[in-house]
Amino acid sequence: MSENNKFFTYKGLPLVRKGNQLYYGNMYDDFVVWMEIKSTKKVGDLEVADKVKIRKMSTDISKPAIDKQADTDSLYEALDIACAWLKVKA
């Protein structure tokens, strides 16, 4: 993979965003977390996520797709839960 094709990482795992959808984790692991920004609010000049749905998903198509799910009030809280679900070490 060239230097230009590397993913942004958070605590050592890939974090990929397209629009209001984010995927966190490595597709070669057993699970990844899918985060969906449901709404945002204006804080100063920035749009900040204030409703985020998170789902822990199996990467094995022979297993049920959704393992866990939750709703949060911020992207930071969603990432914190995702790290716990994926057992990311700080």
HEC states along the chain? Answer: CCHHHCCCEECCEEEEEECCEEEECCCCCCEEEEEEEEEEEEECCEEEEEEEEEEEEECCCCCCCEEEEEEECCHHHHHHHHHHHCCCCC
Centre a 10 Å sphere on the Cβ of residue 30 and count the other Cβ atoms it contains: 13
Question: What is the reported pTM?
Answer: 0.84
pLDDT in tens, 20-39: 999 999 999 999 999 999 99
pLDDT at 2: 45
